[in-house]
């Protein structure tokens, strides 16, 4: 559902992802990211530098209890220079900073103002930019995701862990990553695959609750 700023290839080398390129100052404390244009969130809004600034600032706010706070402890300030340029200033040199940005554990790119300050137990997931979109969460029953094509066309489908029994409240990306992998029992439930496919045949996609 969510994507990081940067990615890594099969050999571990850092690659562009939501950021096309990055420039690092001579003192190693100023990072300027040039973002991909035309990237859309699942709600149709185009991703811009303001959104990434919001996501990082949200993570750095202790009131939000974000899991990535420790990963971003070197960050001093985040600035949206223009729609597609983001600047991050560090308090001190961190040679692993780009590596941190290849993992959504640090933070996930979400729309500006999509999460209120201090909300410890959100009832849904904010929109992301990844290939899967949150569709439905039924407490104690299941969590359903929708697979998207690269063209943005919706193709609801069931795969391994996309329809799973919910044991606890869902953990949205900025809150924590570690609990997300353990909060769902990924075993398919009887009728789960069938009911999801039936919804995709001519009926409207259910809205998150």
Greater confidence (100 vs 132) lies with 100
Position with higher pLDDT, 183 vs 107: 107
User: Counting beta carbons within 10 angstroms of the beta carbon of residue 82, is it exposed (0 to 12), middle (13 to 18) or buried (19 or more)?
Assistant: exposed
Mean pLDDT of 68-84: 95
**Average pLDDT, whole number, for the chain?**
74
* CB neighbours of residue 187 within 10 Å: 10
**Between residues 78 and 164, the one the model is more confident about:** 78
Write down the pLDDT at residue 34.
98
Looking at residue 142, what is its pLDDT?
76
Looking at residue 195, its pLDDT comes to 35
Query: Which of 57-66, 80-89, 167-176 reaches the highest mean pLDDT?
Result: 80-89
What is the pTM for the complete model shown?
A: 0.68
pLDDT at 199 over 90: no
**What average pLDDT does this structure show over 6-33?**
94
Higher pLDDT, 80 or 121: 80
Give the pLDDT confidence score for residue 89 in this predicted structure: 98
Fold of 6-100: Dipeptide-binding Protein; domain 1 (3.90.76)
Q: Please report which confidence band the pLDDT of residue 60 belongs to, taking 50, 70 and 90 as the band edges.
A: very high
* Percent of the chain with pLDDT strictly greater than 70: 67
Domain ranges of the chain: 6-100, 132-199
What is the signed CA dihedral for 149, 159, 203, 206, rounded to 10 degrees?
-90
Q: What is the pLDDT of residue 44?
A: 87
Q: What is the pLDDT of residue 2?
A: 85
Identify the burial level of 8 via C-beta atoms within 10 angstroms of its C-beta, where 0-12 means exposed, 13-18 middle and 19 or more buried. middle
More confident residue, 201 or 98: 98
pLDDT digits 0-9 by tens, 145-184: 777 765 444 444 433 334 444 444 444 444 444 333 323 3
Decide if pLDDT at 103 tops 80. Answer: yes
């Amino acid at each position: 559902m969510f994507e990081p700023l940067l990615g890594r290839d099969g050999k571990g080398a850092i690659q562009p992802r939501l950021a096309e390129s990055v420039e690092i100052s001579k003192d190693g404390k100023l990072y300027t990211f040039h973002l991909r244009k035309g990237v859309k969130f699942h709600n149709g809004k185009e991703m811009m530098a303001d959104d990434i600034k919001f996501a990082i600032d949200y993570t750095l706010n202790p009131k939000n209890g974000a899991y990535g706070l420790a990963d971003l402890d070197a960050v001093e300030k985040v600035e949206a220079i223009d729609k597609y340029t983001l600047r991050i200033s560090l308090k001190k040199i961190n040679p692993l900073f780009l590596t941190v940005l290849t993992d959504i554990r640090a933070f996930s790119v979400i729309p500006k103002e999509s999460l209120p300050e201090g909300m410890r137990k959100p009832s849904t997931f904010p929109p992301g930019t990844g290939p899967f979109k949150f569709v439905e969460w039924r407490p104690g029953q299941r969590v359903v995701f929708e697979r998207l094509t690269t063209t943005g066309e919706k193709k609801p489908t069931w795969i391994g862990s996309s329809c799973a029994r919910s044991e606890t409240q869902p953990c949205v990306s900025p809150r924590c990553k570690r609990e997300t992998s353990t909060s769902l029992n990924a075993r398919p439930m009887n009728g789960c695959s069938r009911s999801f496919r039936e919804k995709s045949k001519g009926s409207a996609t259910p809205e998150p609750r």
